[in-house]
């Protein structure tokens, strides 16, 4: 979720019911520490507590130092990434590539836990490939090292994001450790969340791609799990206010040039399923200024508001 879960997006997710929103991945490479990207990712101004910062790397000492650095800058939780399947991460023996080397996993976990006074959490996959699912043994290592919570994505590194997530391994992890276990992977609807919780006995669920363009999904899931009822999707005017506020935060964080580029991908997600969304995305991707983007958003939602019966998101349950 690097490039997606920046501060404006995290604030939205928390606003709409997410119990925790983890930062974009921060490299443990100290040569990158003074880069503009890292400075931006370690700025948590206005974020709700607890502030969770995700770090990645393969050297125990560097990971420990990065954890300390982020604690000094406001991190209230340190999350270790051993789940990212991206080639540029795995090629550096980080992310989910670490699952092939359990002794190194143990050294990293020990070093980071000892380096900070805040809780440390861990994100993993079920293993390196379908022939080597070792999430249970890694979870035991994590518990022994003092990790406070573990999130498990129901795919191996080799799977990437293809195929379907499997939850049997997550259920086995939950049965073998006493620390909280969070289930992740292919949870797109309130019913998915309910079914995964039942199947795994996990303590919670983690949502990634499904919330892109609909951060209100967290509130809908929470409401459904508590009441068994579907929460009404936001009306057109409410979605407009969310989108307008989001892009303005992007312009503020990234500047008026880069902010335009970041806004494009979020608008692509927001506009999926709306009447005229395809044409709007094509237009929006050609706009080069904040003013042009803001005018286009205004025109798009004005058209939607005038044709409300056709404006509902496809695939979402809307209650009158």
Q: Which of 158, 208, 172, 161 is nearest to 20 (CA)?
A: 208
CA–CA separation, 216 vs 15, rounded Å? Answer: 8
Residues in Cβ contact with 205 at an 8 Å cutoff, skipping those fewer than 6 apart: 182, 183, 184, 187, 193, 196, 197, 221
Q: What is the DSSP pairing of strand 77-82 with strand 52-56?
A: parallel
Out of 84, 90, 159, 290, pick the active-site residue.
84
Is 13 an active-site residue? Answer: no
Q: Is 175 exposed, middle or buried (0-12, 13-18, 19+ CB in 10 A)?
A: exposed
CA distances to 22, 38, 67, 292, 314 from 73, in Å: 15, 12, 10, 36, 42
CA–CA separation, 209 vs 317, rounded Å? Answer: 19
Kindly list the catalytic residues: 84
């Amino acid at each position: 979720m690097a490039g997606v879960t920046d501060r404006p997006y995290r604030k939205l997710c928390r606003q709409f019911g997410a119990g925790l929103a983890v930062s974009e991945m921060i490299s443990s490479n100290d040569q990158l520490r003074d880069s503009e990207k890292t400075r931006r990712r370690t700025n948590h101004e206005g974020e709700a507590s607890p502030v969770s910062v995700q770090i990645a790397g393969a050297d125990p000492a560097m990971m420990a130092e990065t954890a300390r650095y982020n604690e000094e800058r406001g991190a209230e939780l340190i999350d270790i990434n051993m789940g990212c399947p991206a080639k540029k991460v795995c090629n550096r023996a980080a992310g989910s590539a670490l699952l092939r080397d359990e002794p190194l996993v143990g050294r990293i976990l020990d070093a980071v836990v000892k380096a900070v006074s805040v809780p440390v959490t861990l994100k993993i996959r079920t293993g390196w490939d379908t022939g080597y699912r070792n999430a249970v043994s890694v979870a035991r290592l994590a518990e022994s090292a003092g990790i406070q919570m573990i999130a498990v994505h129901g795919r191996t590194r080799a799977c990437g994001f293809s195929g379907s997530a499997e939850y049997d391994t997550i259920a086995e992890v939950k049965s073998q450790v006493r620390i909280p276990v969070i289930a992740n992977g292919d949870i797109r609807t309130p019913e998915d969340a309910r079914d995964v919780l039942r199947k795994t006995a996990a303590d919670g669920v983690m949502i990634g791609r499904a919330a892109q363009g609909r951060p209100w999904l967290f509130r809908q899931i929470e409401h459904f799990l508590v009441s068994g009822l579907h929460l009404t999707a936001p009306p057109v005017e409410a979605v407009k206010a969310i989108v307008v506020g989001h892009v303005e935060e992007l312009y503020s964080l990234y500047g008026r040039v880069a902010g335009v580029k970041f806004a494009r991908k979020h608008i692509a997600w927001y506009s999926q399923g709306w009447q005229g969304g395809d044409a709007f995305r094509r237009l929006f991707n050609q706009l080069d200024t904040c003013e042009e983007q803001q005018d286009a958003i205004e025109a798009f939602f004005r058209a939607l508001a005038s044709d409300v019966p056709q404006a509902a998101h496809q695939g979402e349950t809307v209650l009158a």
